[in-house]
Amino acid sequence: MKISKIIIKGFQKFNNFQLDLVNPKTGKPPDKICFIGTNGTGKTTILDKIVNLLNNFDGHKNQPQPLKNMPFFAVKFSA
């Protein structure tokens, strides 16, 4: 299982953040991902949100919709 897309909306500095990790040439996500940036750019925040989603994942496809004006976090996985 590999991460192919990360979406964060309405959380801290991530008002409408989308990160597509699929290689346009192969159509597949990479084996490894490295977040590089200066302090305070949100690298740890993104990783914390991914870990939180994985720890709370229950395997059901019918997840509740986010409440209006509440932060939204999504991670798309590929095989």
Give one DSSP letter per residue of 20-66, joined into a string. E---TTTSS--S-------TTSSHHHHHHHHHHHHHH--S-S-PPPP
DSSP 70: S
Per-residue pLDDT of the chain (79 residues; tens, 9 = 90+): 788 888 888 888 888 888 898 999 998 988 888 889 999 988 998 888 888 777 776 655 555 555 455 567 777 777 6
pLDDT for res 12 = 82
Give the per-residue pLDDT at 25: 93
Torsion of CA 8, 72, 46, 16, to 10 degrees: 20
∠ Cα 29 21 2 (to 5°): 40
- Under a CB-based contact definition with an 8 Å cutoff, are residues 18 and 7 in contact? yes
Hey, where are the domains in the chain? 2-78
Can you give the pTM of this predicted structure? 0.67
Q: What is the DSSP letter of 2?
A: E
